[in-house]
Amino acid sequence: MSRKYWILLGVVGVLVGLDQVTKYWIMSIYRIGETLPVIPGVFNITYVRNTGAAFSFMANADPAFRIPFFLVLPLGALAGIGYVFRKTPETNRLLIWGLSLTVAGAIGNLIDRVIFESVTDFLHFHWWSRYHFPMFNVADIAICVGVGLLLLDLMKKEVKTPSPAK
């Protein structure tokens, strides 16, 4: 098996495991809505269930649409990522890591959706009671970092592409 597949398996194994362990820990210790200030005025651990996507997108949509949508969409995305991953050269480490992180995050949140029809979020950053960043979890971090690496890879390619002569 080539090195890129070892990276994929390692990243997915570690991050899906960490994501599921942290979510299980939160669910076993906290009640929904319960919060623990870690850094007062800045960071709390707060247990919430997110029925939507990032930033609670579509959280209030009709469950008859929302639930199948959030099960089918990640499966389609994983299939597309799998195709791109297979075509990615071994030398493109940035793309390999970006895709691997994105896959790990997608799988972590998909597991929640299959089991609970929602995602467990618990990391809550805020500035006192005025500004609140949407709550998130380990899988969300993996997706964000993965997409960031994919964007860096895309920008790297844009810089290397010569502009057409006029």
The DSSP output letter for 32 is T
Whole-prediction pTM value?
Answer: 0.89
165 falls within a domain: no
Q: Determine whether 62 is an active site residue.
A: no
Place of tokens 């800045």: 42
The reply to whether 144 falls in a domain is yes
What secondary structure letter does DSSP report for 133? P
**Which candidate in 19, 62, 112, 140 is catalytic?**
140
**67 part of a folded domain:** yes
Percent of the chain with pLDDT over 90: 81
Q: Does any domain span residue 162?
A: no
Any domain includes 62: yes
Q: How far apart are CA 77 and CA 1, in angstroms?
A: 24
pLDDT band at residue 161 using 50, 70 and 90 as cut-offs: low
Domain presence at residue 161: no
Domain housing 75: 3-155
pLDDT at 160: 67
Residue 61 main-chain phi, psi, to 5 deg? -70, 160
Is 121 noted as a catalytic residue in this protein? yes
Give Cα 7 to chain centroid, integer Å: 17
Q: How many domains does the chain have?
A: 1
Catalytic one among 19, 62, 112, 121? 121
Please check whether residue 160 lies inside any domain of the structure. no
pLDDT digits (tens, 9 = 90+) for 9-63: 999 999 999 999 999 999 999 999 999 999 999 999 999 999 988 767 888 889 8
Average pLDDT estimate for 80-86: 97
